[in-house]
Chain A
Amino acid sequence: DAMVIQNPRYQVTQFGKPVTLSCSQTLNHNVMYWYQQKSSQAPKLLFHYYDKDFNNEADTPDNFQSRRPNTSFCFLDIRSPGLGDAAMYLCATSRVTGSGANVLTFGAGSRLTVL
């Protein structure tokens, strides 16, 4: 089945120790997103890639970086995690054609714990 796969599902790190989260998709969607979601809050968009074009949200901290080496893969790097970065990180994809509904397909998420 075509899907969005995130690894790892659970990541525990120490304060300040870099972390990389990965996302792969077999849907051949042209847009990939990284969201941060804390308990009982709305998903917060960190970045998105429209094909190869990288879009950084204005309020995404510099501590967060992203890479999309090809259309199927996307990575989220957290350079120096702080306690406030503990959250669920959601990768999503969509096919944006310029009209109609932009339906997002989400991966299962990566839950980050910072000790």
Chain B
Amino acid sequence: GQNIDQPTEMTATEGAIVQINCTYQTSGFNGLFWYQQHAGEAPTFLSYNVLDGLEEKGRFSSFLSRSKGYSYLLLKELQMKDSASYLCAVQDSNYQLIWGAGTKLIIKP
């Protein structure tokens, strides 16, 4: 079957660093996405990884290990506006997205 696992909730402090993990088991793999979703709003695209390694984009970085079925999203210099849910999604061989339930990140001052 298809399965994507992420922690349900994490808490971090403003200015700190947090790593959100995602593990997946899917029948096909054509890349992994991270989306940010603020409460009551639509998801917005953050990153896409298809090759192993780290992709850095400002304060956010995303890592992928295909052999381990593992990814993480690293957020640095946390700001209060980073409080949101972070959704991991795998693109299958038909270009459809299989979504995780998301990790709710709570930032404390």
Contacts and interface: CB of A to CB of B under 8 A. Distances in A.
B8 A40 contact: yes
Interface in A73-114: 88, 90, 92, 96, 98, 101-109, 111
Contacts of B97: 45, 102, 104
A46 to B, nearest CB: 13
Contact of A42 (B41, B91, B99): B99
Which of the listed residues A42, A90, A108 has the most CB atoms from chain B within 10 Å of its own CB?
A42
B44 A106 contact: yes
Interface in A20-59: 40-43, 45, 48
Contacts of B102: 40-42
- Looking at chain B's contact residues, the main secondary structure is loop
B41 A101 contact: no
Nearest to A103: B45
A43 B43 contact: yes
A108 B87 contact: no
Contacts of A101: 31, 33, 48, 50, 91
Contacts of B45: 103-105
A6 to B, nearest CB: 9
Interface of B: 4, 8, 30-31, 33, 40-45, 48, 50, 85, 87, 91, 95-97, 99-102, 104
